[in-house]
Chains A and B, each alone.
Chain A
């Protein structure tokens, strides 16, 4: 199976930029999607196909994907961005999620 590696936690100062990585073998050749899950809430897609933002998602959220690492970047971090973030890819017909990264805004 295809393994995705995410850091367990990332901390960022209020107003600064957070980067959450998602590592995988040649993940740059795959399409990566990112989900935000706030405590007690349902997951929401924040980036799809590596770099695309759904309507309603702030421009502060951006994505990139190259080589063995995909990255979700959150600029001007706010307390409301505190959540678990999951990357997701397809391994043939099986969807795979990373283990998730807990973002803390200090």
Chain B
């Protein structure tokens, strides 16, 4: 069974940092691009960043570029998201998801259960 388990969320002050992790199981992790999507309280889904499997190419939403860094350790089947210079509007549930498809039109399946990030003083 394919499973994704996020961790690392929590309460952080504005300007602070967090490192989120997403541990994968049930599939060959290095074969898949992986993505982070967030959802602010009561709001819709917002794509944050993704990373290809082998080549390690990374992409970011404008709202987080320069503050967030995505990375992965294929030997440990783990995806990371380093969050820095956090702002109140970064408060959200952060989901990781596997990307399926032909790279040019990937969909997200499955999703992890999410980890909450709360930015507040």
Contacts and interface: CB of A to CB of B under 8 A. Distances in A.
B95 interface: yes
Interface in A59-106: 84, 86, 88, 90, 93-100
Given A48-B101, A99-B44, A94 B109 contact: no
Nearest to B100: A48
Interface of B: 35, 37, 44-47, 50, 59, 61-62, 95, 100-101, 104-114
Given A43-B95, A93-B59, A94-B61, A86 B108 contact: no
Interface size class of A (residues with CB under 8 A): 20 to 34
Given A35-B108, A90-B106, A94-B61, 13 more contacts: A30-B105, A33-B108, A42-B114, A43-B45, A43-B111, A45-B109, A48-B100, A86-B44, A88-B107, A94-B59, A95-B50, A97-B45, A97-B46
Dominant SS at the B interface? Answer: strand
A16 interface: no
A35 B107 CA distance: 9
Given A95-B47, A99-B44, A45 B108 contact: yes
Nearest to B112: A42
23 contacts: A1-B62, A30-B105, A31-B101, A42-B112, A45-B107, A45-B108, A48-B101, A48-B107, A48-B109, A49-B101, A49-B107, A54-B109, A84-B44, A90-B105, A94-B47, A95-B35, A95-B37, A95-B47, A96-B47, A97-B44, A99-B44, A100-B44, A100-B45
Contacts, number: 63
Interface of A: 1, 30-31, 33, 35, 37, 42-45, 48-49, 54, 84, 86, 88, 90, 93-100
